[in-house]
């Protein structure tokens, strides 16, 4: 059951929902239930959606001005609100508004991040005071990436992505670009050509160029635009890698000038691109475990 926090109630919260990149993503095996064993480093980046939560007293959950392709039935932030409501039996409700900047089906975790920000924000808005670990457990029922965004720190992820260990990484400038197509996760993981036997990590220290993305060859076969985007990165002097199950591609930049130049070259070539930075912690990290805003 939820614990009541003796703080003044707020009526509305406007929250960031940041994207992530996978510095590497290895598939180390396949479980009997069809899910895969993974090893990856997840890093939050400054590209972000906005989630606005407005308290309702009637217990209802509504998505206002739904972005294209989303509804109250399929939006992960709404599903997160319903899951939190069921877990705590709270009588409060919420109106949810989303401003989407993170492309969907892009491997950047946009929907999962929206869900995590909803969990973190509603934990405060509804005065539930649930600990981070409990919010992560609820998030795991919504999607494999949600616990990471609640965790809030760059992390080495194992299992199906739910086993998280914080890692320390230098702040990096990153250029992220979209090929303009979405890639569904299911067809990538079920593809017969997916590499599923990368050996588990034998080291606990690695640099930012470590490893590879085992999903990239299959995703690029399903969406050839990924390879064309990678070629544009290489032509601009960068070393690209796909994030998640696709479709976005990123490259690390040595300095702000290189980031600006790389982004400009990609945009000039017709790609949608962002110059962003990695984050040492999620901007909502302090919103849980007793924090008061």
pLDDT tens, position by position, 71-102 = 999 999 999 999 999 999 999 999 999 999 99
Q: How far is CA 70 from CA 15, 67, 176, 269, in A?
A: 19, 6, 24, 30
Q: 21: how many CB neighbours lie within 10 A of its CB?
A: 27
The catalytic site residues sit at 20, 145
Helix (H) or strand (E) holding 135: helix 132-140
Note if the bond before 247 is cis, omega within 30 degrees: yes
Q: What is the dihedral of CA 136, 138, 141, 144, to 10 degrees?
A: -20
pLDDT of residue 134: 97
Q: How far is CA 92 from CA 58, 114, 128, 175, 195, in A?
A: 6, 19, 10, 41, 46
- Per the DSSP assignment, residues forming a β-bridge with 276 are 174
| Closest by CA position to 127, among listed 15, 2, 17 | 2
pLDDT of residue 291: 47
pLDDT tens, position by position, 128-138 = 999 999 999 99
What gap in Å lies between CA 146 and CA 151, rounded to an integer? Answer: 9
Q: Give me the residues of the chain with pLDDT under 50, please.
A: 1-7, 291-293
pTM score of the predicted model: 0.93
pLDDT of residue 206: 67
At 273, phi and psi to the nearest 5?
-145, 155
pLDDT of residue 204: 67
- Per the DSSP assignment, residues forming a β-bridge with 258 are none
- The label of the residue with tokens 């990153």 reads 174
Degrees, nearest 5: CA angle 181-217-254: 80
């Amino acid at each position: 059951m939820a614990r009541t926090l003796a703080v003044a109630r707020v009526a509305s919260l406007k929250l960031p929902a940041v994207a992530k990149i996978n510095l590497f993503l290895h598939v180390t095996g396949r479980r009997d239930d069809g899910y895969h064993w993974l090893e990856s480093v997840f890093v939050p980046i400054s590209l972000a959606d906005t989630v606005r939560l407005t308290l309702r007293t009637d217990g209802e959950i509504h998505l206002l001005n739904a972005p294209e392709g989303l509804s109250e039935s399929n939006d992960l932030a709404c599903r997160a609100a319903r899951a939190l409501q069921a877990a705590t039996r709270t009588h409060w409700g919420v109106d949810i508004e989303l401003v989407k900047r993170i492309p969907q089906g892009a491997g950047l975790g946009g929907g999962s991040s929206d869900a995590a920000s909803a969990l973190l924000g509603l934990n405060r808005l509804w005065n539930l005071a649930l600990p981070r670990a409990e919010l992560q457990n609820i998030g795991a029922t919504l999607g494999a990436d949600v616990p990471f965004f609640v965790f809030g720190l760059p992390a080495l992820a194992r299992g199906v992505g739910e086993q998280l260990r914080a890692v320390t990484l230098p702040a990096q400038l990153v250029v992220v670009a979209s090929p303009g197509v979405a890639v569904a996760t299911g067809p990538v993981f079920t593809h017969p050509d997916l590499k599923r036997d990368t050996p588990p990590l034998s080291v606990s220290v690695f640099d930012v160029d470590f490893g590879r993305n085992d999903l990239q060859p299959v995703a690029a076969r399903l969406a050839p635009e990924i390879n064309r985007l990678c070629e544009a990165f290489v032509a601009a002097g960068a070393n690209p890698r796909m994030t998640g199950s696709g479709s976005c591609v990123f490259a690390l930049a040595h300095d702000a000038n290189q980031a600006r130049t790389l982004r400009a070259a990609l945009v000039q070539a017709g790609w949608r691109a962002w110059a962003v930075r990695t984050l040492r912690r999620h901007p909502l990290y302090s919103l849980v475990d007793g924090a008061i805003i």
